[in-house]
Structure 1
């Protein structure tokens, strides 16, 4: 699932700057659904993870976003290749070297 840290209840105050509450609420619901499915279907061998790729240069993210699309896609695939027990049911934030120095909303 394509999650977003802006839908994290833990970080709600941090992302009050984000202009679209409906987007944030929909991502929070997706994160919860990811967790529910992970708990219900883990014994059958399924893995569910919500990946937050960061602020990506897409039509929605715009040209000033932190990450270009190829970098975000590769980093997302790297997350999905991790040990399933480490990511099942979690919201995983994509980390790209140098990303922490970008000036975007993640600060």
Structure 2
């Protein structure tokens, strides 16, 4: 899933990313219904870890019920300087596209 550094991802990349997130965590939720928390993870990286990867993570968090400010703050706790102004403005305008909202869990 490649897109230019400093830019927001295309709709195609977002859909591909969200499909991966759903496939990984929703399948795991079914397997672990009522049991231990998820042991599944997705590794996301880009060259510096400050733009493209954090934007994708923020989109997944927003899609699952976290508001933009809290999503960005959560990411910046681990990656100071993550998400540039252009990407932040994009995230502020981003509207969730998936149906299952409000089920965000951060560990």
Considering the TM-score relative to the shorter chain, is it more than 0.5? no
Query: Higher strand fraction: Structure 1 or Structure 2?
Result: 1
Normalising by structure 2, report the TM-score: 0.32
Query: Higher helix fraction: Structure 1 or Structure 2?
Result: 2
